[in-house]
Structures are given as structure tokens and as C-alpha cells.
Amino acid sequence: MGRRLAASLTLLLLLAGCGPDLRQVSLCESILPALLADDAKPTELRATADPAVAHGLLIVFRTGVARRQLGCEFGGGRLSQDRLSLRQVSLDGEKLSFERMVFLWRAFDLTAPIDLVAPTPPEQPMPPARAAAYLAQQLINGLTLGSVLALIAVGYSLVYGVTGTIQFAFGEVFMIGAYLVMILMTALAAIGIGFLPVALALTLIGAGALAAVHGCVIERLIYRPLRRAGSLAPLIAAIGLSIALREYVRLAQGGRDKWLANPLPIHFTLFEGGGFPVTMAGTQMLIMVLAVAVSVALGYFMLHTRFGRAQRACADDPVMAALLGIDVDGTISAAFALGAVLAALAGLVVALYYGEADPFIGYLAGFKALTAALLGGFGSISGALLGGLLLGVFEALWSG
């Protein structure tokens, strides 16, 4: 009796060993949905050994009324270390291309057979002329990004100089500026104002005016009541205001991205080095020209106007400035308004450059500009400009 039982068990084991490897069957069946159309549902799956391939497996199945088969070739048999190394897959007798096999290996976290993957050729050094042209292109990209960051950083510095607090919500004002250009450009086109210089001028004026209103309201409702409440309360209020503005825009405009066609779809090829053309887009030129114009105008106003003298006086000693007849509240409110205008202008040119706006673009841009202001020294307008340019160039060179 015992001998018969042992013989029966041995026979069962031998029969099981002749069948397909269950691990190979499971792997082959798991990749099947990735190769079929979304509406194709495989049924009646049956696994058999492929007689035409040394370590092959056939999965016969049906999709609807059609009888189909999936072939999997593995690197080894049941006792081999390569038993789960998938070398080749065929669907209905047609082998997958090497590119599709690469996608399968990556999607299912499989190790590609070494003999099937071509060795990576050694990286060749870039020719000097091409390297110089590539560096020049990244510098142009960096100056473009740095100009945007510099505009927001100057707004931070203006407010910090007269209040000693950080206006975190300027990142969201930047985002509002991007939405304003979308709305105003679309509205102007709808009423027939399509001439680009006029449309851009009206958009700049409209976005600047609305941003100034935002800045004044923020200062009057949020910061002025907390001016003497220490440094922590305005900081918490600024973070809350940032969240509130972001949600306000998301609820008013929706959570989806807004898109705008590029109003300046032109590119200028400056020069070419080693086959690499160095180009500058029309929107990049607009950003740099605007940044230079704002810097010159702001420097003039700070040095030669009553507002600039009042701003510098309040930054040095607000109590003494009030004793000398300067309207400290009005000066601080004007600093908030001007900082908001600069942040909105940055959002405006970014929307023109990338053609996209969403409620969350101000978060990262605000922190980058804050880093630029810290880099140049808080309270220093020239330092904020330089810090923004340096940070933009550094980011472009690092990512390039």
C-alpha cells in the first residue's frame, strides 16, 4: 500500500513537472491586458508549452468570438535562474518590436536580458562652438526667468523696507496677474481690439490698475490692523491670505488650466555655433525690455520723487518720518500697491510667455522670488533685482 502511494505521488510530481511553470504563466497572463485594446476582455485562458521555442509558453484565449494566442519566451526553464527573464513576446504570431519590449520591461519592472540590450556608447564631448552656443542659450533663458523673479522680489523688498514684514501673498498676486492677462486679452479680442500694441498696452494698464487695488485692499484689511501686533501675527495672516486668494481664484475661474495663444509667435536666431542655433522669442524680448524699463523707472522714482523720499524715510525711521509730516499710512499703502503691480506684471509676462495659467502657479514663483530677495538682501531694491537675475541664471544653467 505504501509503495503504491509513493509511486502515485511520484507520478503526480512528474506530471506537474511536465506542465508549464506557474510563475511564468502568471507573468505572461499579467502582461496580456497591456497588449490588448481597452475594450478587449480576454476569456477562456489556457496555458501550454510552445513547441517551437525552447523555453516558450503559449496563452490561448478568446476576445469575443476570436481565438487568439500570446507567446512568451523566457531565458530559462523551471530550475534556471533566468526562468522569469522575459526575452520576447508575440501576439497572434507577430513579435513585438524592441521598443515595445523596452516599455514592457519598464512597466512590469523586469530585468532586460543583457544580450538583447545594446551597450550605451560612451558620451562624446560637445564641440567647443556648440558648447558655447548652448551656454549662450541657457544664459538667455536664465535672464528671462531672472527678470520675472526680480519683479516679484522687488515687491517683497518694497514692503519689507517700510513694514519689516514679508508679504507672502505676492506669489498669489503674481497668479492673479496671469489670470488678468487671460481675461483682458480675451475680452479685448471679443470687442474687436486685435491690434497687438494697443491690446498689450491696454492689458498692461488694466492689469496694473486692478493689481494696485488688490495691494491697497490687502494692506488696509490685513496688514494695517496687525502693524503693531508683533512679527508673528502678520506672518500667519500673510500665509492665510495666500491660501484665501488661491481658493478665491480657483472658485471664481475653475480649477482647470487657462490657455492663451502666443501673441508674439516670433523667434530670432541670434547666431549658430556647431549646428546649435541660439534663438530669442518675442515674449523673451518683451520680458527683458519690461524688466529694464521697470528697473529704470523705479530707480528714478525712488531717488527723484516725493514718493521715493517718503519711502526711504519710512524705511529708515517711520516715527521720525511721521513727525516731519510724511503720511506713513499712505506711503505703506502705496508700497503695497506698487509691489502688487510689479508682481502682477511678472504674472502677465509669464502668461504671455507660456500661454498658461492655473491657481497654483504663484506658490512656487513666490518662494523663488522670496529666495531672490533674501539673496540680494531684504529691503534693498537693487539687491532684489540682482538676486532675481542671479537665481534665474543659476536655475537655467543647473537644469541645462
pLDDT (average), residues 160-172 = 84
Domain extent, residue 214, equals 128-399
Strand partners, 49: 57
Lowest mean pLDDT of 104-113, 157-166, 197-206, name the range: 104-113
Query: Smallest Cα–Cα separation from 338: which of 218, 234, 215, 221?
Result: 215
**Chain centroid offset of residue 91 CA:** 38
> Does residue 13 or residue 66 have the better pLDDT?
66
Residue 328, domain member (yes or no): yes
Identify which of 31-45, 76-90, 253-267, 356-370 has the greatest average pLDDT.
356-370
Q: What is the pLDDT of residue 139?
A: 94
Domain boundary, last residue among 63, 82, 116:
116
Strand partners, 90: 71, 95
Domain boundary, last residue among 84, 116, 148:
116
Res. 114: pLDDT tops 70: no
**133 in the same domain as 87:** no
**312 in the same domain as 374:** yes
Distance CA 291, CA 271 (A): 24
**112 in the same domain as 137:** no
Domains in the chain, number:
2
| DSSP element (H, E) containing 47 | strand 43-49
Residue 122, domain member (yes or no): no
User: How much is the mean pLDDT over the chain?
Assistant: 83
**245 in the same domain as 135:** yes
Output phi, psi for 4, to 5 deg.
Answer: -65, -40
Structure confidence at residue 234 as a pLDDT band (50, 70, 90): confident
pTM, entire model: 0.68
Number of Cα atoms under 13 Å in the Cβ half of residue 291: 28
Residue 123, domain member (yes or no): no
Strand partners, 279: 269
**96 in the same domain as 69:** yes
pLDDT (average), residues 171-185 = 90
Q: What is the pLDDT of residue 138?
A: 93
> Does residue 81 or residue 350 have the better pLDDT?
350
